[in-house]
């Protein structure tokens, strides 16, 4: 089983941190292998920025994406740039308070969360990426173990902000769960 994931947005939104936490959850608090690579140019400091993750049950050889299965976008530029590379059967997760999506191609499943709006409601926009991470954990259904995801957040943020970040994580996770439940009822 191989999952190829791109996390994208603007430099400063915590795009790379979000990818780091996903990789850490999979490879430190679970038994998978996760290789993360990231944009390193000036784009990582303000304009479109992205990180790539390859998660496998065994050793990752080729470190970059060959077939993007999951795209997370937190900015319009990033969505426009990377939407085209997503596999026809892939999954796209966006923040629809920041991205105006196009109708999904082929069999792509596309879900949205108003993550920035939620972040502003918590009083600190900095947790946007953690809300997206919670949403990611819910929507990828079992790719990451829930407990591993929680530990990855707790060990990746400063100790004084753990509560704030865990609230953000659960906000994203619960929103995702409710979307999936609604979909199941339809």
Partner 1 sequence: MTGKIKQIKTVPADPRGVLTGSHYLDGDHAAAEGCIAAGSRFFAGYPITPATEIAERVSARFPRIGGIFVQMEDELASMNAILGASWGGAKAMTCTSGPGFSLMMENFGLGIMLETPCVLANVQRGGPSTGLPTLVAQSDMMQARWGSHGDYEVIALVPDSPQECFDLTITAFNYSELYRMPILIMMDECVGHMTERVIIPEADKIRIVPRRYTTESPSTYLPYKADDDLIPPMPPVGEGYRFHVTGLTHDEKGYPVMNAATQKKLVSRLINKVKDHAEEIIITDEKYMDDAEIVLLSYGITGRVAIPAIEKAREEGLKVGSMRLKTVWPFPEKRIREMSKHIKGFVFPELNMGQVVLEAERCACGNCKVVRVPHAGGWVHDPEVIYDAIKEAAK
Binding site for partner 1 (CB under 8 A): 20, 23-24, 27-28, 33-38, 40-41, 60-64
Q: Minimum distance between the CB of residue 2 and partner 1, rounded to whole angstroms?
A: 11
Closest CB 23 distance from partner 1, rounded Å: 6
Distance (Å, whole) CA 13 – CA 111: 19
Identify which of residues 44 and 74 has a Cβ nearer to partner 1 in the complex: 44
**Given the structure tokens 């979909």, which residue do they identify?**
183
**Structural contact between residues 46 and 38, judged by C-beta atoms closer than 8 angstroms:** no
* Closest distance of CB 24 from partner 1, Å: 4
Q: Which residue has the tokens 């990818």?
A: 19
Nearer to partner 1, 38 or 47 (CB): 38
Nearer to partner 1, 23 or 176 (CB): 23
Smallest separation, CB 138 to partner 1 (Å): 22
Give backbone dihedrals phi and psi of 51, rounded to 5 degrees, phi first: -130, 145
63-81 per-residue burial string, b: 16 or more CB within 10 A, e: under 16: eebeebbbbbbbbbbbbee
CB 54 within 8 A of CB 34: yes
Cβ proximity to partner 1, 58 vs 181, nearer residue:
58
């Amino acid at each position: 089983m191989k999952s190829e994931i791109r996390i994208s947005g603007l430099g400063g939104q915590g795009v790379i941190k979000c990818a780091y936490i996903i990789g850490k959850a999979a490879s430190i608090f679970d038994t998978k292998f996760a290789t993360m690579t990231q944009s390193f140019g000036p784009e990582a400091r303000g304009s479109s920025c992205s990180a790539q993750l390859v998660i496998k049950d065994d050793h990752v050889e080729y470190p970059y994406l060959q077939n993007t299965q999951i795209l997370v976008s937190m900015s319009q530029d990033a969505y426009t740039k990377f939407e085209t590379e997503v596999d026809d059967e892939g999954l796209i997760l966006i923040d629809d308070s920041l991205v105006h999506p196009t109708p999904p191609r082929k069999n792509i499943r596309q879900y949205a969360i108003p993550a920035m709006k939620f972040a502003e409601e918590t009083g600190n926009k900095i947790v946007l990426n953690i809300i997206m991470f919670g949403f990611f954990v819910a929507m990828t259904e079992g790719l990451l173990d829930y407990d591993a995801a929680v530990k990855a957040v707790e060990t990746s943020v400063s100790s004084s902000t753990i509560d704030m970040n865990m609230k953000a994580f659960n906000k994203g996770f619960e929103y995702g769960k409710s979307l999936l439940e609604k979909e199941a009822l339809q």
